[in-house]
Amino acid sequence: MAQAQANIGVIGMAVMGSNLARNLASREGNTVAIYNRSAEKTRAVVSEFPEAGFVASESIEEFAASLVKPRTAIIMVKAGAGTDAVINQLTTVFEPGDIIVDGGNALFTDTIRREKAVRETGINFVGAGISGGEEGALKGPSIMPGGSAEAWETLGPILKSIAAVAEGEPCVTHVGTDGAGHFVKMIHNGIEYADMQLIAEAYDLIRRGTGKSPAEIADIFTEWNKGELESYLIEITAEVLRQVDAKTGQPLVDVIVDQAGAKGTGAWTVQTALDLGIPVSGIAEAVFARSLSSKPAQRAAASSLPGPSSEWTVDDADAFVEDVRQALYASKIIAYSQGFDEIVAGAEEYNWDIKKGDIAKIWRGGCIIRAQFLNRITEAYDENPGLVALVTAPYFTDAVSQAQDAWRRVVVAAAQAGIPSPAFSSSLSYYDGLRADRLPAALVQGQRDFFGAHTYRRVDAEGTFHTLWSGDRSEIEATDTH
Ligand code: NAP
C-alpha cells in the first residue's frame, strides 16, 4: 500500500485531468496523487511528465492510501455516469472530513443530488465548474466551486494557487453551497454561446455587406480588440479568420463545414431559464442558431426559397463596420445582462448567496468569456448589489443608449439583406421590450381571459377580474385564479 504523501489527488487522466494535475504539481508545496480507470493512461502520464513527481496508483484503494488526511481528490472524468461511478468508488475508501471535488461539466441538479448523498457519509462534496479548456487547466483556469464553507476552507488555498490571475486576483471564489458552482459555470457557457454567435453575425454582416475578405475582417477584429470589445473571443476570432488552409490556399473559414456542434451546456442554460421564467433570448437564439446550422436536409430543401426582391448595398463600408461594432457591443451587454438575471433567479430558487460582482471578477481570466468588460459588471454590482437588471446600471445604460441607433440600423440592414441575425435582432427586441411603457401582454391577458377565464388585473384597481365573455360581457371580480 502506498504511503500517504500527496496533499491533493486527481482522478481521470484524459486531457483535462492530466493538465490540471500538472498545474497542481507545478505549484510550490504540492505533491499530486493520480489515478485513472485504465492504468495504462496513468503510466503514460507518469512517463511523459516525470518532472511533475506524480504519486501514481493503479487502484482506488492505493489512491486513497497515498493521500494525506483529510484527503482531497478532484474528479476530472466524463460527466454523467463516469462521475457517479468514481464517486461511488471514492465513498467506499474515503472517510468523514475528506473532500471529493467534481471538476467535470456536471449539470447543477446532478451536483445538488450528489452533494446531498455524499454529505450523508460525512464526506464533503464540492461541484466545481472549471473553464478554460485544456490550456486553462494547465496554465490557470477560472474555477467556480460550490459546496460547503468548511470544504472551501481547505480547498480554497489549493484552488487559488492553480487558478488564472486577473489584475492580481485569482480567478476563483466560493460561489455558494451544493450546485451553485456548476450552475454558474453553466451560465458562463450560455453567455459564451451568445458571445460567439454575436461575433459570428458581425463577421457575416461585414463580409456580405462590404465584400471584405476574412483576412481583412481579421484586421477589423484585431482593431476592435483594442477597445471596449477587448476579449479572448474577439482575439481568437481574428486568428481563425486569418488562418489560410494549407491544402487549398483558401481562408480556413471557407473550407470548414458550416454546421456548429454543441456539447449541451448552452441548452441546459436555456432549459433552466425556461423553468425559472427568465428570458435569456440571446442565449436561446445562439443555441438555436447552432441547431439550425446542423440541419443539412432542411437547409437544402429550403435553399431555393426567395430572399429579398431588392438588392442591398452598403454605401459607406467604414460607417457600416462601425455600426456593426456598436451593435455587437450593445447585444453583448444584453446577453450578459440576461445571463446575470438567470444567476439571480437561480440563487433565489436554490437559496444560494451568490455575489454577482465576484462572479464577474473570476471570469476576467482563464475562462473563454474573459474580457476587460467584466470589470464594468463587477463595478455595477458593487455600486448596487440589488441591481434588478444589469442593463439598467448607469454604465451599461449609457453604452446601450450610445449604440442603439447603430444597432437598429444593423438589424434593419440584416432584415433587408436577408442575412440572418437572430442574436442581434432578438437582443434589440428584448431591449425594446424591457424599456416599453406598455406591452401587448395586456392583449394576451385579454385573450387568455376570453378562452380560459384566466382573469386579469386592472391598471386602476386592486384585485383580479374576469369579463363574462360568453354572457353579457360585464366584468366581475374573480376570487380564484385558474
Ligand atoms: P473526457 O473525454 O470527458 O473523459 C475521459 C476520462 O473519463 C478518462 O479518464 C476516462 O477513463 C474517464 N471515465 C469515463 N468513464 C468512466 C467511468 N465510468 N469510470 C471511471 N472513469 C471514467 O475527458 P476530458 O475532456 O479530459 O474532460 C474531463 C471532464 O472535464 C469532463 O467532465 C468535461 O466535461 C470537463 N471539461 C472539459 C473541458 C474541455 O475543454 N475538454 C473543459 C472544461 C471541463 P478511461 O481512460 O479509463 O477511459
Report the pLDDT value the prediction gives residue 2, as an integer from 0 to 100.
Answer: 61
Beta bridge partners of 165: 170
Q: Cβ(190) to ligand 1 under 6 A?
A: no
The packing angle between helices 214-224 and 232-242, to 10°, is 160
Decide: helix, strand or coil at residue 15.
helix
Residues lower than pLDDT 70 in the chain: 1-2, 480-482
Report the pLDDT value the prediction gives residue 397, as an integer from 0 to 100.
Answer: 97
Do 30 and 7 form a contact (C-beta atoms < 8 A)? yes
- The dihedral through the CA atoms of 371, 372, 376, 379 has a sign that is positive
Instruction: Measure 105 CA to ligand 1 centroid, in angstroms.
Output: 9
Sheet of strand 32-35: strand arrangement: 55-56, 32-35, 8-11, 72-75, 99-102, 124-131, 142-145
Q: What's the grid cell of residue 293?
A: 446550422
Q: Cα separation of 457 and 278, whole Å?
A: 22
Which residue among 77, 92, 185 has the greatest number of ligand 1 atoms within 8 angstroms of its CB, and so is best to mutate?
A: 77
Which residue among 10, 13, 16 has the greatest number of ligand 1 atoms within 8 angstroms of its CB, and so is best to mutate?
A: 16
Q: Cβ(177) to ligand 1 under 6 A?
A: no
Which residue among 76, 86, 88, 189 has the greatest number of ligand 1 atoms within 8 angstroms of its CB, and so is best to mutate?
A: 76
Q: Cα separation of 45 and 25, whole Å?
A: 13
Active site residue ranges = 185, 192
Q: What percent of the chain has pLDDT over 70?
A: 99
Do 126 and 114 form a contact (C-beta atoms < 8 A)? no
Q: Cβ(266) to ligand 1 under 6 A?
A: no
- What is the identity of the amino acid at 432? D
Instruction: Measure 36 CA to ligand 1 centroid, in angstroms.
Output: 10
Q: Cβ(270) to ligand 1 under 6 A?
A: no
Q: Cβ(85) to ligand 1 under 6 A?
A: yes
**Which is the closest atom of ligand 1 to the Cα of 104?**
32
Instruction: Measure 160 CA to ligand 1 centroid, in angstroms.
Output: 23
